[in-house]
């Protein structure tokens, strides 16, 4: 398999550290709100990666963290902890909020047929490991203390910036950075001393540490937990493209400073899902959750299918029209395989190879989809062979096509009669009656479409 590595910016052959096995760490959600469909695009990408690796014969261990403390409202060290913002909004405890949104996230993953991670460690359950790592950084001379915390001194690590190619000086010249007592603009918090120590104000999430009561910075959890669950270095680290300049740069620095090794060999980043060509945001009213899609009648797997239409390293623009097109394509796919024979013993090697060539070329899902449709429409092959091959491809696509193959829709007699009556009304150009009958059919859980060769009945 060939994958694009952000570190080094090139496509390269994959060489697992331990032959036959592969460790993948996916930066997980910050559980202070529902995941939006942009977040979910990133996890669909990770799932395709994981399934493609497993299909190629590797034993995959996927670890996805849950950020339930320390992620401030900017990805750097400014603003408030996102959990505290949610506490104020909802009048609940930070832990109640974290568990509620974690559960909602896991439910979304299930609805998208994203396979569960082998471990989903929470930051708040791994405070000790994070403190240990900060202690090692301290011992190795990479930290300094300010009034509000312990910081990583990026000037002590000559390789800092290796992922984004961004140098500390560039940052100084560029964006406005809240320096506070920081020595360098790229320095970042490892441990934040909670205000309770100085002002008597009590923070709900805080822990004892050698530097005073407080809470970890956002980045340290990923370095500490990835090491605990996968070792250092491990094989593949994933996340959204926004993680390149800050979060992942800082993770690399921490592991380098504490363990003296590169955190992960391959770094993969999914591009953003945009809406109307721009950023999704609540204030613009264009931020959608999976529930929003479902309440408009879309199948979550239609969103999954929609994601495959663009390579993970290109932007994908979300529109309702595009989602409708994906839903229609998925419906058509299901209808087609319903009419097929169950899988035989032989598939279609040429089509399978075309599909694999696309997937193993840095997860080229648009080409893999095209290969699937080409196979589906290849009438020279018996449907039993096509069934087998579509299942082969669905190991990676995860569209649950197995639930549809060889299962024609069974239409009850009363629905058949209503459809006949509707045909008669249409022939008589009685559109009012024909519409009424369509609604009547819908109340029984079926839809009827006017196909080229007569009405096509589908389960709604
Ligand atoms: P968060 O919960 O904010 O930590 O984000 C979870 C994941 O979603 C991270 O990997 C982000 O990089 C990713 N992400 C955030 N916004 C988008 C977007 N619009 N499109 C794709 N991925 C995104
Ligand atoms: Zn992370």
**pTM: predicted TM-score of the whole model, two decimal places:** 0.91
**Closest by alpha carbon to 344, among 392, 407, 400, 395?**
392
Give a yes or no: residue 282 inside a domain. Answer: no
CATH code of 323's domain: 1.20.120.640
Cα–ligand 1 centroid distance for 305 (angstroms): 19
Do 120 and 261 lie in one domain? The reply is: yes
Do 191 and 322 lie in one domain? The reply is: no
- Strand residues in 100-208 grouped as ranges (E): 143-146, 149-152, 188-193
Q: Which domain holds residue 391?
A: 295-403
Q: Look at ligand 1, atom 12, and give the residue with the nearest C-alpha.
A: 240
**Closest by alpha carbon to 225, among 50, 75, 49, 64?**
64
Which ligand is in closest contact with the Cα of 42? 1
Residue 307 is assigned to a ligand binding site: no
**Nearest atom (ligand 1) to Cα of 274:** 19
Instruction: Name the residue of 27, 64, 242 to mutate for ligand 1: max ligand atoms within 8 A of Cβ.
Output: 242
Residue 64 three-state SS: strand
Tokens of 305: 């299918």
Do 308 and 195 lie in one domain? The reply is: no
Do 391 and 428 lie in one domain? The reply is: no
Do 199 and 60 lie in one domain? The reply is: yes
Query: Helices in 56-93 by DSSP H: which ranges?
Result: 82-90
Q: What is the total count of domains within the chain?
A: 3
Do 385 and 427 lie in one domain? The reply is: no
Give a yes or no: residue 174 inside a domain. Answer: yes
Spell out which residues line ligand 1, taking CB within 6 angstroms: 27, 29-30, 38-39, 41-42, 239-240, 242-243, 270, 272-273, 280
Cα–ligand 2 centroid distance for 26 (angstroms): 7
Do 168 and 136 lie in one domain? The reply is: yes
Residue 27 is assigned to a ligand binding site: yes
Do 186 and 79 lie in one domain? The reply is: yes
Do 90 and 129 lie in one domain? The reply is: yes
The Cα-based distances of 379 to 328, 332, 386, 393, 422 in angstroms read: 21, 16, 9, 18, 33
**Nearest atom (ligand 1) to Cα of 243:** 12
Do 322 and 230 lie in one domain? The reply is: no
Residue 282 is assigned to a ligand binding site: yes
Q: Would you write out the chain's pLDDT as a tens digit for each of its 460 residues? A: 999 999 999 999 999 999 999 999 999 999 988 999 999 999 999 999 999 999 999 999 999 999 988 677 666 666 677 777 888 888 888 888 999 999 999 999 999 999 999 999 999 999 999 999 999 999 999 999 999 899 999 999 999 999 998 766 565 544 556 778 899 999 999 999 987 545 555 677 889 999 999 999 989 999 999 999 999 999 999 999 999 999 999 999 999 999 999 999 999 999 999 998 888 877 777 899 999 999 999 999 999 999 999 999 999 999 999 999 999 999 999 999 999 999 999 999 999 999 999 999 999 999 999 999 999 999 999 999 999 999 999 999 999 999 999 998 888 999 999 999 999 999 999 999 999 999 999 999 898 887 766 788 887 7
The Cα 26–Cα 225 span in angstroms is 11
């Amino acid at each position: 398999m060939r994958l694009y590595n952000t570190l080094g910016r090139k496509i390269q052959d994959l060489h697992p550290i331990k032959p036959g096995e592969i460790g993948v760490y996916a930066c997980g959600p910050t559980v202070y709100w529902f995941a939006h469909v942009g977040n979910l695009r990133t996890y669909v990408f990770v799932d395709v990666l994981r399934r493609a690796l497993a299909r190629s014969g590797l034993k995959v261990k996927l670890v996805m963290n849950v950020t339930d403390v320390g992620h401030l409202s900017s990805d750097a060290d400014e603003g408030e902890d996102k959990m505290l913002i949610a506490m104020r909004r909802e009048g609940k405890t930070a832990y109640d909020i974290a568990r509620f949104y974690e559960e909602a996230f896991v439910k979304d993953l299930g609805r998208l047929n994203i396979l569960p991670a082998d471990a989903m460690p929470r930051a708040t359950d791994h405070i000790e490991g994070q403190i240990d790592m900060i202690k090692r950084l301290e011992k190795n001379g990479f930290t300094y203390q300010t009034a509000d915390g312990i910081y990583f001194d990026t000037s002590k690590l000559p390789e800092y910036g290796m992922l984004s190619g961004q140098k500390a000086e560039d940052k100084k010249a560029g964006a406005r950075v809240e320096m506070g007592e920081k020595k360098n603009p790229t320095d970042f918090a490892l441990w934040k001393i909670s205000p309770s120590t100085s002002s008597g104000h009590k923070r709900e999430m805080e822990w004892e540490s050698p530097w005073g009561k407080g809470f970890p910075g956002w980045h340290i959890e990923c370095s500490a937990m990835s090491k605990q669950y996968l070792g250092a270095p491990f094989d593949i680290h994933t996340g959204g493209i926004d993680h390149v300049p800050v979060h992942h740069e800082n993770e690399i620095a921490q592991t380098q400073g504490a363990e003296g090794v590169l955190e992960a060999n391959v770094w993969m980043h999914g591009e953003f899902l945009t809406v109307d060509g721009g950023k999704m945001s609540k204030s613009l009213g264009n931020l959608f959750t999976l529930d929003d899609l479902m309440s408009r009648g879309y199948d979550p797997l239609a969103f999954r299918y929609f994601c495959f239409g663009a390579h993970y390293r290109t932007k994908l623009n979300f529109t309702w029209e595009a989602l409708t097109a994906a839903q229609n394509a998925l419906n058509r796919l299901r209808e087609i395989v319903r009419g097929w024979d169950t899988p035989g013993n032989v598939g279609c090697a040429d089509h399978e190879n075309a599909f694999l060539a696309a997937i193993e070329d840095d997860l080229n899902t648009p080409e893999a989809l095209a290969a699937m449709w080409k196979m589906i429409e290849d009438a020279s092959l018996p449907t039993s062979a096509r069934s087998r091959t579509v299942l082969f491809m669905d190991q990676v696509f995860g569209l649950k096509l197995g639930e549809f193959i060889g299962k024609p829709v069974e239409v009850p007699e009363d629905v058949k009669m209503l459809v006949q009556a509707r045909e008669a009304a249409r022939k008589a150009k009685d559109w009012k009656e024909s519409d009424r009958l369509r609604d009547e059919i819908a109340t029984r859980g079926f839809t009827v479409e006017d196909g080229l060769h007569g009405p096509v009945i589908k389960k709604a």
